[in-house]
């Protein structure tokens, strides 16, 4: 890959790769539709639960994970960026589509990995991987060639990426990257050329310092250009700040700021209310200053920069989180890791922006990050810097 300082290398690699808390409302701003979990309807069918986890030793802490079809069989697999002495490795697990995982390859990385993401960066229909690294800052790119084979290269960066998001940022049909600077004070676009090369764009300062879990991309103003949503703490408030994207990978104009409680944890964007709106879920430590119960604040997007809000008590404090249809009912459910690595929580969604009662699965040695492998039998995966194991939870139907 081209760069001002060439550290590029190309290698041919053959890789085969509940303490249950009722979700009571804390905010009663009207939503577009009545929510069963807000109005007290307890007739909702039992949601998804998690079984006992299978444990896999990683040989080091996993700092980040990504879902990608590594072996070309049409099923998403797992790629982890694992830290280790003198560098790290990309560790690959193949998924059989039924919840089974098998470790494949470890690809050494000469630097300390900080983030990993998956996308098609050369428009060949195959999942590629990008791995952020430190000392010095760099981006390692693994371009898929099919049948588990990749070509690897590295490009220097101006700053270490603490997190990476794959999106189309500049209006064309090629995949780009958004990188969060170490320290969480700025983001930078890495614009793809459709051939596997990425070029650093301008630095966009954030309205507040953000953790990797507290930033997401949404089309808040519905202009077909992605905007930035940042959850951060300001004085005693946790607030979501929406920053307009300009269609060239830059973010500057603040569209809106909404206080959602106190103690910022994580922010997710997804269509939760059964339409094409870019809805948001903010996980915070409390409904306001001094409030002791963690809250999931749901903002349903009704139109350009127009949101209705409602909040639910959740188990916590929480760390990372994701949204996935665990019980295959067509509605997205909230999956969150406890901040102390002691549990994974599942909060079933009702498809209208509401959530039902939470279920918790406790286990020793969990990480504070979670991802979900889709399939006929979805699997919740827990890992993180505080653990040297991957925990795989099978999803079951809760008993009524």
DSSP type of residue 45: P
CA dist., res. 368 & res. 191, Å (int)? 30
pLDDT value of position 45? 60
Residue located via tokens 């607030």: 239
| Whether 113 contacts 139, CB under 8 Å | no
CA dist., res. 79 & res. 393, Å (int)? 17
Q: pLDDT for 251-304, tens place per residue?
A: 999 999 999 999 999 999 999 887 777 899 999 999 877 777 899 999 999 999
Which residues 6+ apart lie within 8 Å of 128 measured at CB?
A: 68, 118, 119, 120, 121, 122, 141, 142, 143, 144, 150, 196
The phi-psi region of residue 194 (left if phi > 0; otherwise alpha if psi is between -120 and 50; otherwise beta) is left
Q: Within 13 Å, how many C-alpha atoms sit on residue 73's CB side?
A: 12
Regions of the chain short of the pLDDT cut 50: 1-43
CA dist., res. 202 & res. 248, Å (int)? 10
CA dist., res. 286 & res. 126, Å (int)? 42
Radius of gyration, CA atoms only, the chain: 20
Q: pLDDT for 87-137, tens place per residue?
A: 899 999 999 988 889 998 888 888 999 999 999 999 999 999 999 999 899
Tokens of 45: 């069918």
Q: Within 13 Å, how many C-alpha atoms sit on residue 117's CB side?
A: 22
336 C-beta neighbours (distance < 10 Å), count: 32
pLDDT value of position 39? 32
CA dist., res. 385 & res. 65, Å (int)? 11
DSSP type of residue 93: E
pLDDT value of position 352? 85
170 C-beta neighbours (distance < 10 Å), count: 18
| Whether 207 contacts 155, CB under 8 Å | no
187 C-beta neighbours (distance < 10 Å), count: 27
Which residues 6+ apart lie within 8 Å of 46 measured at CB?
A: 397, 398, 399, 400
Residue located via tokens 């939760």: 272
Q: How many distinct helices (H) and strands (E) make up the chain?
A: 1, 30
Tokens of 372: 């979900």
| Whether 327 contacts 397, CB under 8 Å | yes
pLDDT value of position 30? 34
pLDDT value of position 400? 59
Q: What is the DSSP string of 229-258?
A: EEEEEETTEEEEEEEEE-SSS-EEEEEEEE
pLDDT value of position 33? 36
pLDDT value of position 287? 87
CA dist., res. 198 & res. 122, Å (int)? 10
Cα end-to-end span (Å), the chain = 56
Pick from 338, 322, 360, 300: nearest CA to 23: 360
pLDDT value of position 205? 96
CA dist., res. 79 & res. 184, Å (int)? 24
Give the pTM: 0.86
With 0-12 / 13-18 / 19 or more C-beta atoms within 10 angstroms meaning exposed / middle / buried, residue 30 is exposed
């Amino acid at each position: 890959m081209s760069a001002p300082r060439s550290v590029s290398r190309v290698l041919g690699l053959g890789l085969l790769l509940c303490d249950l808390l009722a979700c009571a409302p804390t905010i009663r701003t009207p939503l577009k539709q009545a929510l069963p979990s807000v109005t007290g309807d307890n007739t909702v069918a039992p949601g998804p639960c998690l079984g006992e986890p299978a444990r896999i030793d990683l040989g080091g802490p996993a700092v980040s994970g990504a879902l990608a079809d590594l072996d070309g069989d049409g099923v998403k697999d797992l790629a982890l960026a694992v830290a280790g002495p003198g560098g790290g490795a990309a560790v690959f697990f193949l998924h059989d589509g039924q919840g089974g995982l098998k470790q494949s390859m470890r690809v050494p990385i000469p630097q300390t990995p900080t983030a990993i993401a998956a996308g098609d960066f050369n428009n060949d229909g195959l999942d590629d991987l990008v791995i952020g690294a430190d000392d010095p800052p760099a981006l390692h790119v693994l371009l898929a060639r099919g049948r588990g084979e990749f070509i690897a290269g590295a490009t220097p960066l101006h700053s270490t990426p603490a997190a990476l998001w794959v999106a189309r940022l500049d209006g064309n049909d090629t995949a780009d990257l958004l990188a969060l600077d170490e320290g969480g004070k700025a983001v930078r676009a890495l614009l793809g050329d459709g051939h596997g090369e990425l070029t650093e764009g301008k630095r966009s300062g954030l309205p507040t310092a953000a953790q990797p879990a507290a930033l997401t991309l949404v089309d808040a103003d519905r202009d077909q250009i992605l905007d930035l949503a940042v959850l951060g703490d300001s004085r005693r408030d946790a607030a979501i700040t929406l920053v307009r994207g300009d269609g060239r990978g830059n973010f500057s104009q603040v569209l809106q700021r909404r206080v959602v409680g106190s103690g910022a944890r994580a922010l997710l964007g997804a269509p939760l209310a059964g339409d094409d709106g870019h809805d948001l879920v903010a996980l915070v430590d409390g409904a306001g200053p001094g409030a002791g119960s963690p809250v999931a604040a749901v903002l349903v997007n009704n139109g350009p920069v127009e949101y209705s809000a409602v909040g639910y008590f959740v188990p916590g404090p929480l760390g990372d989180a994701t949204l996935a249809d665990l019980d295959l009912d067509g509605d997205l459910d909230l999956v969150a890791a406890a901040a102390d690595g002691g549990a994974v929580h599942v909060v079933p969604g009702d498809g209208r922006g509401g959530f039902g009662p939470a279920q918790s699965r406790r286990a020793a040695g969990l990480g504070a990050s979670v991802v979900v492998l889709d399939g006929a039998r979805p699997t919740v995966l827990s890992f993180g810097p505080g653990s040297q194991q991957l925990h795989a939870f099978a999803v079951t139907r809760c008993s009524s």
